[in-house]
Homo-oligomer: A and B are copies of this chain.
């Protein structure tokens, strides 16, 4: 949090059918449905998240990610980052408060990999779902499905990894937690963090700009990952891979697809990071092990199924 950026605040995903998507994200992942806005977008959140929402589903003809947003400390920080972005030569679009229900003004910009990102400082903060801030119980009894705790990060595919890294590092205060390097030193994967988490956003090198690999949600335990896999099977949901462990971050994970073909991850664990940590480097010829620690080889889908 070198520059006042705190955490991933929300992601807006395009889905082909809003009811199917809601069944997936609410009933299977167990996200809390918050409300539907005037544009028909549905808002959800993980039960441990204090802000009003973290996932926005928008019906569209094509799946994928509209944008991912980061919450910053306060309005003063937002103003400063606005200037810093402009000073860095990045065009910034002002989105007025209320364009997303309950969310303050947002600054939107396009990163060199072609993805749209936003910054914001204010969002209604009803507190953790079902437990609140006063003598809170350990967890609410009415959770369903995978009981996803929070929207955690996105993995995005794009071309200009160096450009996006420089922007996130120099302007937004992110650190490089882990990377994959080719023998000639090209960084083909970068896991960036602005917190103790091993990634708040990650990028993999890809010929096209602005591709979406997955949105990831945090579970509490490896047993929750098992039960997530069980639920994927019980609901005939398309699985990608898992349960398994990542080499990068060492988190424990399972990948699957929403009804529109957007990939999701639910995971637990993961190494801790502090800003004085040297980045962890994986050799590109160890990419299989870096991604899927047990199988030690990528499945084809990991590199090609994008939205």
- A138, A234, A275, A290 pick with most chain B CB within 10 angstroms: A138
CB distance from A211 to the nearest CB of B (A): 25
Which of B135, B220, B269 is close to A282, meaning CB atoms less than 8 Å apart? Answer: B135
Binary B-proximity of A221-244 (CB < 8 A = 1, otherwise 0): 111001001111110000100111
Contact residues in B for A41 (Cβ distance below 8 Å): none
Q: Using A229-B244, A233-B296, A239-B295 as known contacts, list a sample of 9 further A-B pairs with CB atoms less than 8 Å apart, ordered by residue number in A.
A: A1-B1, A6-B275, A135-B282, A135-B283, A136-B247, A137-B230, A138-B245, A221-B222, A222-B222
A142 to chain B, nearest CB (A): 10
Check B230 against A277 for contact (C-beta < 8 Å): no
Interface CB pairs A-B, < 8 A, 5: A135-B286, A137-B233, A195-B196, A222-B223, A223-B223
* CB of A255, distance to nearest CB on chain B (Å): 11
Q: Which residue of B lies closest to A285 (CB)?
A: B135
Binary flags per residue of A38-78, CB closer than 8 Å to B gives 1, else 0: 00000000001010000000000000000000010110000
- Scan A206-228; emit 1 where CB is below 8 A from any B CB, else 0: 00000000000000111100100
Contact A252 B279, CB 8 Å, known A232-B294, A234-B138, A239-B294:
no
Q: What 0/1 pattern do residues 150 to 186 of A give for CB contact below 8 A with B?
A: 1000000000000000000000000000000000000
Q: Does A300 contact B (CB under 8 A)?
A: no
Q: Using CB atoms and an 8 Å cutoff, list the residues of chain A in contact with chain B.
A: 1-2, 6-7, 48, 50, 71, 73-74, 125, 127, 133-139, 141, 150, 195-197, 220-223, 226, 229-234, 239, 242-245, 247, 250, 252, 254, 269, 271-272, 274-283, 286, 289-290, 293-296
Would you call B274 and A6 a contact (CB within 8 A)? yes
Cα distance, A50 to B277, chains bound together (Å):
7
Q: Which residues of B contact A150 (CB under 8 A)?
A: 272
Across-interface contacts of A295 in B (CB, < 8 A) = 239
Partner of A276, one of B73, B141, B221, B226: B73
